[in-house]
Amino acid sequence: MADLDELYREIILDHYRNPRRRGTLHGPHVHAEGVNPSCGDEFALDLRIEDGVVTDVAIQGQGCSISQASGSMMAEAILGKEVPAVEDLMAKFRLMMGIDEGDSPIDPNRPGSVLGDLEALQGVRRFPVRIKCADLPWTTLADALAKAEAGT
Protein backbone atom coordinates (compact mmCIF):
# COMPACT_ATOMS: atom_id res chain seq x y z
CA MET A 1 0.00 0.00 0.00
CA ALA A 2 2.95 2.35 0.67
CA ASP A 3 4.01 1.98 -2.99
CA LEU A 4 0.52 3.01 -4.12
CA ASP A 5 0.56 6.03 -1.79
CA GLU A 6 3.93 7.08 -3.22
CA LEU A 7 2.64 6.69 -6.78
CA TYR A 8 -0.39 8.81 -5.93
CA ARG A 9 1.81 11.51 -4.39
CA GLU A 10 3.91 11.58 -7.55
CA ILE A 11 0.84 11.91 -9.77
CA ILE A 12 -0.46 14.83 -7.71
CA LEU A 13 2.91 16.58 -7.73
CA ASP A 14 3.34 16.03 -11.47
CA HIS A 15 -0.05 17.61 -12.24
CA TYR A 16 0.72 20.49 -9.85
CA ARG A 17 4.15 21.19 -11.33
CA ASN A 18 3.10 20.53 -14.94
CA PRO A 19 -0.59 21.41 -15.19
CA ARG A 20 -2.31 20.12 -18.27
CA ARG A 21 -4.61 22.31 -20.37
CA ARG A 22 -3.30 25.53 -18.73
CA GLY A 23 -4.36 28.69 -20.54
CA THR A 24 -7.46 30.36 -21.92
CA LEU A 25 -9.79 29.66 -24.81
CA HIS A 26 -10.60 32.08 -27.60
CA GLY A 27 -13.81 32.08 -29.57
CA PRO A 28 -17.12 30.86 -28.18
CA HIS A 29 -16.82 29.21 -24.79
CA VAL A 30 -18.19 29.27 -21.26
CA HIS A 31 -16.12 30.72 -18.43
CA ALA A 32 -16.55 29.99 -14.72
CA GLU A 33 -14.52 30.91 -11.64
CA GLY A 34 -14.34 29.51 -8.14
CA VAL A 35 -12.61 30.45 -4.91
CA ASN A 36 -11.93 28.51 -1.74
CA PRO A 37 -11.75 31.31 0.85
CA SER A 38 -10.61 28.96 3.61
CA CYS A 39 -7.20 28.51 2.00
CA GLY A 40 -7.08 31.05 -0.82
CA ASP A 41 -7.32 28.67 -3.77
CA GLU A 42 -8.53 30.22 -7.00
CA PHE A 43 -9.64 28.29 -10.05
CA ALA A 44 -11.02 29.34 -13.43
CA LEU A 45 -12.23 27.20 -16.28
CA ASP A 46 -12.91 27.86 -19.96
CA LEU A 47 -15.10 25.20 -21.53
CA ARG A 48 -16.15 24.69 -25.13
CA ILE A 49 -19.05 22.33 -25.76
CA GLU A 50 -20.08 21.48 -29.31
CA ASP A 51 -22.95 19.11 -30.09
CA GLY A 52 -23.01 17.95 -26.47
CA VAL A 53 -19.29 17.11 -26.33
CA VAL A 54 -16.51 18.91 -24.44
CA THR A 55 -14.28 19.81 -27.36
CA ASP A 56 -11.84 22.07 -25.54
CA VAL A 57 -11.00 23.03 -21.99
CA ALA A 58 -8.49 25.41 -20.44
CA ILE A 59 -7.72 26.06 -16.80
CA GLN A 60 -6.20 28.91 -14.86
CA GLY A 61 -5.64 29.42 -11.19
CA GLN A 62 -3.40 29.42 -8.20
CA GLY A 63 -3.38 27.73 -4.87
CA CYS A 64 -2.34 24.56 -3.15
CA SER A 65 -1.07 21.47 -4.92
CA ILE A 66 -4.33 19.61 -4.26
CA SER A 67 -6.63 22.16 -5.92
CA GLN A 68 -4.37 22.76 -8.90
CA ALA A 69 -3.62 19.06 -9.47
CA SER A 70 -7.30 18.22 -9.20
CA GLY A 71 -8.06 20.84 -11.87
CA SER A 72 -5.35 19.54 -14.17
CA MET A 73 -6.55 15.94 -13.83
CA MET A 74 -10.16 17.01 -14.27
CA ALA A 75 -9.38 18.95 -17.46
CA GLU A 76 -7.72 15.92 -19.02
CA ALA A 77 -10.50 13.60 -17.87
CA ILE A 78 -13.38 15.60 -19.36
CA LEU A 79 -11.88 16.49 -22.74
CA GLY A 80 -13.71 14.69 -25.53
CA LYS A 81 -16.51 13.41 -23.30
CA GLU A 82 -20.21 13.95 -23.81
CA VAL A 83 -21.84 16.15 -21.15
CA PRO A 84 -23.73 13.23 -19.49
CA ALA A 85 -20.41 11.35 -19.15
CA VAL A 86 -18.83 14.47 -17.60
CA GLU A 87 -21.73 14.69 -15.13
CA ASP A 88 -21.28 11.00 -14.30
CA LEU A 89 -17.56 11.58 -13.72
CA MET A 90 -18.40 14.50 -11.39
CA ALA A 91 -20.77 12.28 -9.43
CA LYS A 92 -18.17 9.51 -9.10
CA PHE A 93 -15.52 12.00 -7.99
CA ARG A 94 -17.83 13.42 -5.32
CA LEU A 95 -18.60 9.90 -4.07
CA MET A 96 -14.90 9.03 -3.96
CA MET A 97 -14.20 12.17 -1.95
CA GLY A 98 -17.08 11.51 0.44
CA ILE A 99 -18.79 14.78 -0.51
CA ASP A 100 -21.98 13.02 -1.55
CA GLU A 101 -23.58 10.13 0.32
CA GLY A 102 -23.01 6.67 -1.12
CA ASP A 103 -20.37 4.05 -1.66
CA SER A 104 -17.13 5.04 -3.30
CA PRO A 105 -16.97 3.82 -6.91
CA ILE A 106 -13.28 2.96 -6.55
CA ASP A 107 -12.21 -0.66 -6.89
CA PRO A 108 -9.31 -1.09 -4.41
CA ASN A 109 -8.17 -4.19 -6.31
CA ARG A 110 -7.83 -2.25 -9.56
CA PRO A 111 -6.34 1.20 -8.88
CA GLY A 112 -7.06 3.69 -11.62
CA SER A 113 -9.75 1.56 -13.23
CA VAL A 114 -12.67 3.91 -12.52
CA LEU A 115 -11.34 7.47 -12.39
CA GLY A 116 -7.81 7.10 -13.73
CA ASP A 117 -5.32 9.61 -12.29
CA LEU A 118 -8.14 11.25 -10.30
CA GLU A 119 -8.01 8.30 -7.91
CA ALA A 120 -4.72 9.74 -6.65
CA LEU A 121 -6.83 12.30 -4.80
CA GLN A 122 -8.74 9.76 -2.72
CA GLY A 123 -6.17 10.06 0.07
CA VAL A 124 -7.37 13.64 0.61
CA ARG A 125 -10.44 12.15 2.35
CA ARG A 126 -8.22 11.59 5.39
CA PHE A 127 -7.88 15.39 5.70
CA PRO A 128 -11.43 16.81 5.66
CA VAL A 129 -10.27 20.42 5.52
CA ARG A 130 -8.51 19.67 2.19
CA ILE A 131 -11.56 18.10 0.50
CA LYS A 132 -12.74 21.58 -0.49
CA CYS A 133 -9.39 22.09 -2.20
CA ALA A 134 -9.84 18.99 -4.34
CA ASP A 135 -13.49 19.82 -5.04
CA LEU A 136 -12.96 23.45 -6.15
CA PRO A 137 -12.32 22.61 -9.83
CA TRP A 138 -15.35 20.33 -9.84
CA THR A 139 -17.71 22.95 -8.41
CA THR A 140 -16.33 25.37 -10.99
CA LEU A 141 -17.02 22.77 -13.69
CA ALA A 142 -20.59 22.37 -12.42
CA ASP A 143 -21.03 26.16 -12.71
CA ALA A 144 -19.64 26.11 -16.26
CA LEU A 145 -21.98 23.28 -17.27
CA ALA A 146 -24.94 25.15 -15.79
CA LYS A 147 -23.97 28.27 -17.76
CA ALA A 148 -23.62 26.23 -20.94
CA GLU A 149 -27.03 24.67 -20.43
CA ALA A 150 -28.55 28.09 -19.79
CA GLY A 151 -26.83 29.46 -22.88
CA THR A 152 -24.94 32.17 -21.00
Position 119 scores a pLDDT of 85
- DSSP letter string, the chain: -HHHHHHHHHHHHHHHHS-TTBS---SS-EEEEEEETTTTEEEEEEEEEETTEEEEEEEEEES-HHHHHHHHHHHHHHTT-BHHHHHHHHHHHHHHHTSSSS-----TTSTTTTTGGGGGGGGGGGSHHHHHHHHHHHHHHHHHHHHHHHT-
Position 111 scores a pLDDT of 64
Task: Please name which of 50, 141, 127 lies closest in space to residue 91, comparing C-alpha atoms.
Answer: 141
- 25 CB burial (10 A radius; 0-12, 13-18, 19+): middle
pLDDT averages per 10-residue partition of the chain, 152 residues: 60 90 94 92 96 97 92 96 96 89 72 78 86 95 95 74
Position 54 scores a pLDDT of 97
pTM over 0.75: yes
Position 43 scores a pLDDT of 96
Task: Please name which of 146, 89, 145, 143 lies closest in space to residue 121, comparing C-alpha atoms.
Answer: 89
Position 116 scores a pLDDT of 83
Position 2 scores a pLDDT of 53
Position 4 scores a pLDDT of 47
List the domain boundaries for the chain: 2-150
Look up the CATH number of domain 2-150: 3.90.1010.10
